[in-house]
Amino acid sequence: MKTMKNIFSIALLAVLSITFTTTVKAQMSPYKFNQLFQQAFALVVEGSHEEAMPILEQLYLVDENHGQVSYLYGVCRLKTEAGNSGLTLKVLQTASRNFDYKHQYGRVDDRTAPVKVWFHLAEANASENRIDKAIESYRNYMSCIQMASLNHKRMVKNRIEELKQQKAAIAEEVGTGMLANLQR
């Protein structure tokens, strides 16, 4: 009986300590959040995506709905080896729900994402062979960049055409495979 009571007490203590540590991890003062954001933003601007990624991951875990954090974290994931994953898509999709034309880069109090989030979301979708979603994201991006250079718009249009051709090739390959199976 006494052993059962000790086991129960230890289990309860373990559950409480795990709950407490995860709750503390998820909380962060606004001052600390701002400091880490500024540090991560500077690293991203320098092109140090590997170094910025753990900081942005920490900030993302604290506030998944902060559009700028989600955007920067997603970009870092795309530009590093972590890029091709469902998490990258999820992070960029979260950021795209918070995009704003008037986004202000580097301001922690601006919780929006820049329009470029659509471009990166398209790239992430394309890398995961989600062709229709990639085309849709590229089109959203195109509709937001009226003042972009002609070369940039041309590059995006070419990318959309490449994806359409890729989709047609896949459809043709699937159709040919099905026909071969029927002929057997």
pTM of the model: 0.75
Q: Does residue 111 form part of some domain?
A: yes
Q: Does residue 65 form part of some domain?
A: yes
Query: CATH code at 179?
Result: 1.25.40.10
What separation, in Å, do the N-terminal and C-terminal C-alpha atoms of the chain show? Answer: 71
Expressed as residue numbers, the domain containing 90 is 47-183
Percentage, residues of the chain above pLDDT 90: 54
Residue 12: predicted pLDDT: 53
| Chain segment 6-22, per-residue pLDDT in tens | 565 565 555 655 654 44
| Chain segment 20-37, per-residue pLDDT in tens | 444 344 588 999 999 999
Q: For the chain, how are helix, strand and coil distributed in percent, rounded to 5? A: 75, 0, 25
Residue 5: predicted pLDDT: 62
Number of domains in the chain: 1
Cα separation, 60 vs 63, in Å, equals 5
CA atoms within 13 A on the CB side of 69: 23
| Chain segment 53-102, per-residue pLDDT in tens | 999 999 999 999 999 999 999 999 999 877 667 899 999 999 999 988 88
Chain centroid, CA 156 distance in Å:
20
Q: Token pair of 121, please?
A: 């979301």
